[in-house]
A and B are shown apart, each in its own frame.
Chain A
Amino acid sequence: MNDMDLLLWARGPGLQIALAIFIAGMLLKLFEIFSLGRKQDLSVPRPGNAAAGWKTIVSRSLPNRALLKRTFPTYLMGYTFHIGFFIALLFAAPHIQLFRNTVGLGWPALPNPLVDGASLLAIVALLLMLAYRLLHPVKRFLSTFDDYASWALTLAPLLSGYLAFHHLLLPYTLMLALHILSVELLLVFMPFTKLFHTVSLFIARWYNGDALGHKGARL
């Protein structure tokens, strides 16, 4: 199998398999979570907190002053990574072309140097995050295989995309194939690792916000 064969496999059968596992896995997990059910809270809801769940989805994305002081590196690298990752994912021209082709939605691309810079920042943030995780005794104690696997699965597409764009390390065709394959690997494992937070964070935040709001907590 040469580089081109690998690329064609990645763009063809590989994508079909990965996408199928991703969609089935995500739905499976969502059903699993929602079917667990929660005990009904029979108490009278406190007034003025009707939209507490929805507010919390947004508010938990904003920095919390107390936590910002205590875990500044986590905040800084977390924001840098997520913003950089989403710029690379959503505003690189070839990616937009993929969305246009698959879901029919498209938007203008950002210039390459911007996307490039954002990806590099995201990569650096991920590397620093790993170092922080390994050096911080509490973080290291709490880390499981899932954390490291999720980290590697996230870094792979960013790094391979960056290397492909700059023609580093491997021939472009091979690196592009590896880039697409790494994304497919990410899709395959997303429902079954902590990467599921891409969806579950909204559910968890809504639930927590709603439950706290019900009890009258100020959110």
Chain B
Amino acid sequence: MSDKLSLPVILQAHGISRRKFLTFCGSLATLMALPESMVPAIAAALEKAQRPSVIWLSFQECTGCTESLTRSHSPTLESLILNAISLDYHHTLQAASGEAAEAARLAAMRQFYGKYLLVVDGSIPTGDGGVYSTIAGISNLDMLQETAKGAAAIVAVGTCAAFGGLPHAHPNPTGAVAVSDIIRDKPIINISGCPPIPVVITGVLAHYLTFGAIPELDALGRPKAFYGESIHDRCYRRPFYDQGKFAKTFDDEGARNGWCLFELGCKGPTTFNACATTKWNQGTSFPIESGHGCLGCSEPNFWDAGSFYQALSTPLTPVGRAAAVAAAAGIVGGAAIAMHNRHTKAAAESGHQTVTVKDLEKPPGEEK
């Protein structure tokens, strides 16, 4: 299915002018925090780029990542970047089904061995031999291992693929893990988020097409260009945090004034993503702008990080019981020490030998 058409040809076929294309390259450069001088380089690289084969595997997921990608971008220019790649296998988007679908995957793997880009969304169940999720009778675990072998790089789209996500949440009945827990010998780019920002997915793919290499990643394998700063630091409500002005409920004066949502459980300070800058739905807004705190969806274990409505600085679990048990133990232990001290004191008192003045006045040698 992959052909040799380069991006400009495809763009022309879609009626996209060169000016529009360059504007797009400019916005990509901005998104990736690259200097303006890189725009011609991006344009040149994208122009030369051949349509690389992409195999998209969907495992334990809700299709939210694909929904996010398709809905928000069609019909914008970004979606053409996806047209510029050859999406050879994608459950939701491909026309083929059943054996034909699997045949497409195998064909792409053979034809582009060592060159194709593997995109994964969803976590991989490893419990009980991986029986909890299978495709065409193949467990997700086996399919990932098989498909990863010939991949040039892997893009883990969504928090499930990047960190395990919802299926990984306690008690994790399926033994769900992230792609990086299984594949260790391939470059992996984590595009976390539940779902990830569409433009971030396309931005990373564009980066890969432009430079032929994976972008600079943070400690969690996420592109620094998009995950370099916290929601809190880029939040337009940040000044209210600094002034100590907080909404206490979702319908109070503070909420109406657009004050900081920290006390209502906003996880912005520990969440690294581009929501506050790129925003959602073609730049319309992002959750905090809509009046709801950040859930921290692009961070590992965000489902197990306590209530979404509990402030970040509060205990995950109530401490009352531990405190009561400790107090009881302290009192019992303290009482035991007190008893021991009293006993020692009493023993010392009873063992005390009285000495009278007479005793002291006796000449040496006459002591009793």
Contacts and interface: CB of A to CB of B under 8 A. Distances in A.
A167 interface: yes
B75 interface: no
A178 B15 CA distance: 54
Interface string B228-270: 0010010000000111101000000000000000110000011
A115 to B, nearest CB: 9
B330 A98 contact: no
Contact of B242 (A31, A111, A173): A111
Interface in A59-99: 93-95, 97-98
Contact of B230 (A5, A25, A102, A172): A172
B160 to A, nearest CB: 15
Given A11-B315, A16-B317, A172-B269, A94 B341 contact: no
Given A4-B270, A4-B305, A112-B242, A102 B319 contact: yes
A4 B300 CA distance: 6
Contact of A31 (B306, B313, B314, B337): B337
B314 A8 contact: no
Contacts of A113: 242
Contacts of B315: 11-12, 15-16, 98, 101-102
B326 interface: yes
A109 B244 contact: yes
Interface residues of B, number: 46
A17 B302 CA distance: 23
Contact of B342 (A8, A35, A173): A35
Contacts of B299: 4, 173
Nearest to B301: A4
A151 B342 CA distance: 34
Given A2-B300, A7-B270, A111-B242, 7 more contacts: A5-B301, A11-B314, A19-B322, A20-B325, A93-B241, A110-B244, A176-B270
B333 A8 contact: no
B355 interface: no
26 contacts: A3-B219, A4-B305, A7-B270, A8-B305, A15-B315, A15-B316, A16-B322, A19-B319, A20-B322, A22-B326, A23-B330, A24-B327, A24-B330, A25-B330, A27-B330, A28-B333, A29-B334, A31-B331, A32-B338, A32-B341, A93-B241, A102-B315, A112-B242, A171-B218, A172-B270, A176-B269
B312 A94 contact: yes
A173 B271 CA distance: 8
A15 to B, nearest CB: 5
Contacts of B314: 11, 97-98, 101-102
B341 A35 contact: yes
A171 B219 contact: yes
A30 interface: yes
B233 to A, nearest CB: 7
B220 A2 contact: yes
Given A19-B322, A23-B323, A35-B338, A97 B316 contact: no
B44 interface: no
A26 interface: yes
A36 B342 CA distance: 8
B301 A26 contact: no
A126 B310 CA distance: 33
Given A94-B313, A97-B314, A102-B319, A28 B270 contact: no
B311 interface: yes
B335 interface: yes
Contact of A20 (B263, B300, B302, B323): B323
A109 B263 CA distance: 12
B342 to A, nearest CB: 7
A23 B313 contact: no
Given A4-B300, A7-B270, A98-B314, A112 B243 contact: yes
